[in-house]
Amino acid sequence: MCGIVGYVGRAEAAPILLDGLRRLEYRGYDSAGVAIVNGKQIETRKCAGRIANLAKLMTEKPPSGQYGISHTRWATHGKVTDENAHPHFDQSGKIALVHNGVIENYAALREQLEREGGHKFTSDTDTEVLAHLIGSIYEQIDGADSKARLVNATRAALKQVIGTYGIALMWPQTGFAARKILVPVKPPTASSSRAAKTARDLAQDGTFPKCAALCETEGNIAERDSVGLW
């Protein structure tokens, strides 16, 4: 199954995101990738194959930044290729998205976007379709660039989705995760899910400055020095 890791903090994100992915290798996967905010742009590295391949790629072309998301993919829509690996971007190239699950109506949504015009897809995945859908709705909402505008666009896009999903999404100004509803990264509690247990284990062994679990409640990833695994 797929895996998602997110980090925001004071340290360089790349090694932390990679280490998080390694901890999810037991799930099985066929490709991996990262997206890291560097100033006003998002740097991405992704490839088919093992996390070791991704690590080599990141060593050759190191991405820099203190805020990012990463993903291991188990192919459902599209072959195992570099292009189909996550993260994927919207048509503007500003919104990065990783996704667990299956979007059952992705073909219809893709046709809808192609009729709209201005959408060039570079993969065969349902995930890229969702990224483009969020970006398209974002452009249709009036107002200045803002977190609220992006959250509203994501809400509207997910209302059109049929299937199962867990996503992490970001652009240079903000990021958040969603699983049927928008969720934040928060410190784990006794009532948190299995993800919280993973976060506590990571915190205890000192791997990360501070760890966090995904909770089912609305909010943004705003806490400093936090890592979420999904």
DSSP designation for 224: S
In a domain, 181, yes or no: yes
d(CA 140, CA 142): 6
In a domain, 119, yes or no: no
C-beta of residue 44 within 8 angstroms of C-beta of residue 95 = no
- Continuous H helices in 117-193: 126-140, 147-158
Backbone phi and psi for residue 155, each to the nearest 5 degrees, phi listed first: -55, -50
In a domain, 215, yes or no: yes
- State the DSSP H helix or E strand holding residue 97, giving kind and residue range, or none if neither: strand 96-103
Residue 145 confidence (pLDDT): 86
- State the DSSP H helix or E strand holding residue 79, giving kind and residue range, or none if neither: none
In a domain, 21, yes or no: yes
CATH number of the domain where residue 72 is located: 3.60.20.10
Going from the C-alpha of 90 to that of each of 60, 109, 142, 145, the distances in angstroms are 26, 14, 18, 15
Taking the whole predicted model, whether its pTM rises above 0.75 is answered as yes
Closest CA to 34 of 7, 11, 74, 1: 7
Going from the C-alpha of 103 to that of each of 1, 66, 126, 131, the distances in angstroms are 15, 30, 6, 12
- The contacts of residue 36 (CB under 8 Å, 6+ apart) are 13, 14, 17, 42, 43, 44, 63, 64, 65, 67, 68
Section 183-209 average pLDDT: 38
Instruction: Give the number of other CB atoms < 10 A from CB of residue 74.
Output: 14
What's the number of domains the chain is made of? Answer: 1
In a domain, 134, yes or no: no
Tokens of 82: 């570099």
In a domain, 139, yes or no: no
| Domain encompassing residue 222 | 3-101+165-229
In a domain, 116, yes or no: no
d(CA 68, CA 199): 17
Using a 10 angstrom Cβ sphere, with 0-12 exposed, 13-18 middle and 19 or more buried, the burial of residue 2 is buried
Residue 179 confidence (pLDDT): 62
Closest CA to 36 of 67, 7, 9: 67
Question: Mind listing the pLDDT tens digit for each residue in 3-51?
Answer: 899 998 889 999 999 999 999 988 889 999 999 999 889 999 999 999 9
**Which residue(s) pair with 203 in the sheet?**
none
Tokens of 89: 């971007």
Looking at the predicted structure, is the pLDDT value of residue 223 above 60? no
Question: Mind listing the pLDDT tens digit for each residue in 109-161?
Answer: 999 999 998 899 999 999 999 999 999 999 999 998 888 899 899 999 999 99
DSSP designation for 77: S
Looking at the predicted structure, is the pLDDT value of residue 183 above 80? no
- The contacts of residue 100 (CB under 8 Å, 6+ apart) are 1, 2, 3, 4, 165, 166, 167, 230
DSSP designation for 27: G
